């Protein structure tokens, strides 16, 4: 299991989604993989968690109340490069235009909902190795 090795760093991931069941499933799966998991239900909470918890990785929904995922990405872009988490955007928006917007805003990986949890874990493992 990840995180069990002596001296091995624990990777911190922020899960941002307004759907409680999505947050719950991802938190369980990420905990089982040895990640330290932070959660937020909207973009405002996400920005607070980024500044307080400095996650390396973020799983981000687009359609949320108060502050959507696009706005979060615009705010993340203003941070110094070493403070920006790598971002996997998971969303029901699957048009080419949405994918282009995500890429332009600095999203590392774009996964349409519904997504496979094992596939998401594989993406996160790949991003942490690349960082």
pLDDT tens-digit series, residues 66-110: 899 999 999 999 999 999 999 999 988 878 899 999 999 999 999
CATH of the domain at 103: 3.40.50.2300
Average pLDDT over the chain reads 90
In a domain, 35, yes or no: yes
How far is residue 99's CA from residue 65's CA, in Å, rounded to a whole number? Answer: 21
Prediction pTM value: 0.90
**Pick from 122, 123, 116: which is nearest to 87 by CA?**
123
Domain contains 6: no
What is the model's pLDDT at position 10? 77
Give domain status of residue 17, yes or no.
yes
The domain total for the chain is 1
pLDDT at residue number 7: 40
The reply to whether omega before 129 is within 30° of 0 (cis) is: no
Range of the domain at 42: 12-130
Q: Which residues lie below 8 Å from residue 21, measured CB to CB, with a gap of 6+?
A: none
| 91 domain-assigned | yes
Q: Note whether residue 1 is domain-resident.
A: no
Judge whether 97 lies within some domain. yes
Helix H, strand E, coil C: the string for 36-72 is: EEEEECCHHHHHHHHHHHCCCEEEECCCCCCCCHHHH
Q: What is the pLDDT of residue 1?
A: 42
Residue 124 lies in a domain: yes
């Amino acid at each position: 299991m990840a995180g069990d090795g002596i001296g091995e760093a624990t990777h911190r991931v922020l899960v941002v989604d307004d759907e409680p069941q999505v947050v719950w499933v991802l938190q369980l799966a990420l905990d089982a993989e040895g990640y330290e998991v932070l959660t937020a239900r909207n973009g405002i909470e996400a920005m607070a968690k980024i500044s307080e918890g400095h996650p390396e990785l973020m799983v981000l929904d687009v359609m949320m109340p108060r502050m959507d995922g696009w706005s979060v990405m615009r705010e993340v872009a203003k941070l110094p490069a070493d403070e920006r988490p790598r971002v996997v955007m998971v969303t029901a928006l699957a048009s080419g235009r949405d994918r282009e917007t995500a890429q332009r805003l600095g999203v590392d990986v774009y996964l349409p909902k519904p997504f496979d949890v094992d596939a998401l874990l594989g993406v996160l493992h790949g991003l942490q190795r690349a960082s």
